[in-house]
Amino acid sequence: MTFSLVARSADGRRHGVVVASKFLAAGALVPAAAAEVGALATQAHVNLAYRPQGLTLLRTGVAPADVVAGLIAADPEREHRQLGVVGVDGTGATWTGPACHPWAGGRAGDGWAAQGNVLTGPEVVNALADAWLAKSALPFAERLVAALRAGDEAGGDRRGRQSAGLLVVERGGGYGGTSDVLVDLRVDDHPDPVAELGRLLAVHSMLFSRPDPSTLLDLSGAVADEVAALLAALGHPVADGGTEVALVSWAGLENLEERLVPGRIDPVVLTHLRGVALHVPAPRAAS
């Protein structure tokens, strides 16, 4: 009772799944992905065993279409299953069992597969696929959410809205480079879960995206003077360690540590610093 898209980035470094459903916490059940391996979505009458089994098959070099064939061949409930799979290269694959509640179906192409069941009609899957293909200029995670939004706006789950989820993996792309999970966001129960997922992704991008090296500013001269003054206004005066030490202290409290670069400052961090400092209450005059 779900619609989803599984995909990989154009450079093959990222794999992801985006999903929405009139079902509690669909993001906890549907998606699975492994960096430099592939991604899959299991839905309709979900078979959670598909997730580790499918990734294992992909990891050994099995093509997505053969992964789908292998998983459903061994499943006596395959007529009630729906599945989408994408690998490290080639065309994605999708399966819709004939016993899935209508409307149900899917489309697949190079590096993606879109599928859904209990939908208002085929226009939902078509909107998912068409938006994915049309939004190639967007960053990968944003492109996935844009496709999901298009499917939702086309009618989505015919029973209504409840949950949404986004999973994106990249080798070493997680927090501090210590995992492969680049984005893992879920909206488990919400009246407008796709919009809320978009809001969460915007916050996630602001806090955790790595800065664009071409935009970084040298933390010296007038920039350093401004940063020092703003930090002092926020209770982080520049001491013997210099402006950079004070900036690191403040940024850690704001959860912006992933955007720090030694000797330089990300404009996103500077803009946030200015905004926070602007709202600091002025000190009261002595009575």
- Write out pLDDT tens, residues 133-181: 999 999 999 999 999 999 999 999 999 999 999 999 999 999 999 999 9
Percent of the chain at pLDDT above 90? 94
Token representation of residue 242: 């210099």
CB 111 within 8 Å of CB 86: yes
Q: Which pLDDT tens digit goes with each residue over 267-284?
A: 999 999 999 998 866 555
pLDDT band at 285 (very low <50, low <70, confident <90, very high): very low
Contacts of 147 (CB under 8 A, 6+ apart): 5, 18, 114, 128, 129, 131, 132, 135
**Comparing C-alpha atoms, which of 214, 209, 222, 205 is closest to residue 259?**
209
Per residue, the 3-state secondary structure of 141-200, as one string, reads HHHHHHHHHHHHHCCCECCCCCEEEEEEEECCCCHHHCCCEEEEEEECCCCCHHHHHHHH
d(Cα 155, Cα 135) in Å, to the nearest integer? 20
Mean pLDDT of 121-125: 98
Q: What is the mean pLDDT of the chain?
A: 95
Q: Which pLDDT tens digit goes with each residue over 175-184?
A: 999 999 999 9
Question: Could you tell me if residue 285 is left (phi over 0), alpha (psi between -120 and 50 degrees) or otherwise beta?
Answer: beta
Q: Is the pTM of this model over 0.85?
A: yes
Percent of the chain at pLDDT above 70? 97
CA distances from 55 to 33, 140, 208, 212, 272 (A): 7, 21, 27, 32, 40
